[in-house]
Chains A and B, each alone.
Chain A
Amino acid sequence: DTTVKQNPRYKLARVGKPVNLICSQTMNHDTMYWYQKKPNQAPKLLLFYYDKILNREADTFEKFQSSRPNNSFCSLYIGSAGLEYSAMYLCASSSGTGDTQYFGPGTRLLVL
């Protein structure tokens, strides 16, 4: 099973409120990634977890937090949502050096 699951598929949030998105995989992959995708733009890497080590991209360092309580689950957390956070959020996972990344279906977040 090469499925990456994301919950919820759609999320409506209010400006200033927190948002928590969930991703899971059962492939025992050591690395899990979060990307942000806005319309007509490329998916942009936000952060990734290698095992228990979190790596956040420099330009989004302070905007997103993440946790990985175990190998299978990884969350993306926004402490205070702004309108600019409205986007599709894609989770992916991979295992080993140079391995293919497997993507989930995405969570569409709308902030009002």
Chain B
Amino acid sequence: GDSVTQTEGPVTVSESESLIINCTYSATSIAYPNLFWYVRYPGEGLQLLLKVITAGQKGSSRGFEATYNKETTSFHLQKASVQESDSAVYYCALGETANYGNEKITFGAGTKLTIKP
């Protein structure tokens, strides 16, 4: 089946430093899955951070970026300068279209990120 592997946490980074959270995927049932980063801030539900559906394209949101690399099957999350408010758990995920046009999502285990002031 499909699987997603990401940087094992917890990860601690100082404010204003750069960040990279690695993500690689294996999609056995679909050649070009949709790729996502979800985030869960303390006390809140999972929410979509960014999504890319085309290989070679880059998605960005809230200063974060991730590029869909089909050759290396990777979708690393990067940010040039983190803020304390970025402290959260980040989940890499892939999606495949199910029978009804909806999306079945396979998540990674999550990376807990703590930003030191």
A interface residue numbers (CB < 8 A to B): 4, 30-31, 40-45, 48, 50-51, 53, 55, 90, 92, 94, 96-106
Contacts and interface: CB of A to CB of B under 8 A. Distances in A.
Interface string B85-105: 000000100010111111111
Contact of A48 (B45, B101, B102, B108): B102
A103 to B, nearest CB: 4
Instruction: Report the 3 A-B pairs with minimum CB-CB distance, sorted nearest first.
Output: A97-B101, A103-B46, A50-B100
B109 interface: yes
Interface string B37-57: 010000111111001010000
A52 to B, nearest CB: 11
Interface of B: 4, 34, 38, 43-48, 51, 53, 91, 95, 97-110
A45 B105 contact: yes
8 contacts: A30-B100, A43-B46, A43-B107, A45-B104, A50-B98, A50-B99, A97-B102, A99-B102
B98 A101 contact: no
A103 B34 CA distance: 18
Contacts of A55: 98-99
Contacts of A104: 45
A48 B102 CA distance: 10
Given A50-B100, A97-B101, A90 B45 contact: yes
Contacts of A30: 100, 102
Contact of B109 (A42, A90, A102): A42
A41 B109 CA distance: 5
Contacts of B103: 94, 98-99, 101
Contacts of B48: 100-101
Given A90-B46, A101-B48, 7 more contacts: A30-B102, A31-B102, A41-B109, A45-B106, A90-B45, A98-B34, A103-B45
